[in-house]
Amino acid sequence: MENLNPEADREREDLPDVGPRVRYLRRLNRLRLKDLAAAAGCSESLLSRIENSVVVPSLTTLHRIAKALSVNVAALMDPKEEAVCTIYGPNDRPRQPRVTDGGDGSTAEILTPFSEHRQLEGLLLEMPAGGPMCGPFQHDGEEVGYVLSGELELLIEGERHLVPTGYSFFFLSDRVHSYRAAGDENCRVVWINTPPTF
């Protein structure tokens, strides 16, 4: 049968394969498939397809799985060993995939390699114009960010905030929060969390 979407397949080939690490951490935590699916708020069928690398999870789904496994997303994507200094080029930062399971369409490039002793994490987020809200999220810590391009819409405890290009933001992570690109332009944000919770 002819491949109707070769571009998506090429993108998929370049993505980190999170499925085996999800399965490994699930078994390490002695969780059944249905236990992790329930904790992550997704179906057993979807989780099975993720573990078997049939489906690439969305940013929101990956965040929920990581939270249910008590790790951050970088632990699933970039099991790099500690180094004195880690430098990522523009094309080799661990990246949350563009090919998703129907999520919000956001991508996240990981700026800080995973370590159980990490005190902060840095992300370069890109949200598509006209996309749905990413979230809601709620966890320990603090968050600060800087909008590189576009305009960010933050919804925190039900209060709407618009953050244009060149502006920064800060809030406590235990406040329920969601976000998306506002307007008709993609939004790119350098986003820092402490402690690592993403």
Domain boundaries defined on the chain: 6-77, 119-194
The CATH classification number of 6-77 equals 1.10.260.40
> What percent of the chain has a predicted confidence (pLDDT) above 90?
40
Mean pLDDT of 42-71: 89
* Residue 12 pLDDT greater than 70, yes or no: no
The answer to whether the beta carbons of residues 159 and 176 sit under 8 Å apart is: no
The answer to whether the beta carbons of residues 25 and 114 sit under 8 Å apart is: no
CB under 8 Å to 12, separation ≥6 — which residues? 56, 97, 99
Say what the pTM is.
0.65
Task: Output the CA–CA distances (angstroms, integers) from residue 108 to 17, 30, 33, 187, in the order listed.
Answer: 15, 29, 26, 12
* Residue 7 pLDDT greater than 60, yes or no: no
Give me the pLDDT at residue 94, please: 72
How high does pLDDT run on average in the chain? 82
- Rank 12-16, 92-96, 117-121, 190-194 by mean pLDDT and report only the highest: 190-194
Domain with residues 119-194, CATH architecture:
Sandwich (2.60)
Q: Which of 154, 155, 145, 148 is nearest to 188 (CA)?
A: 148
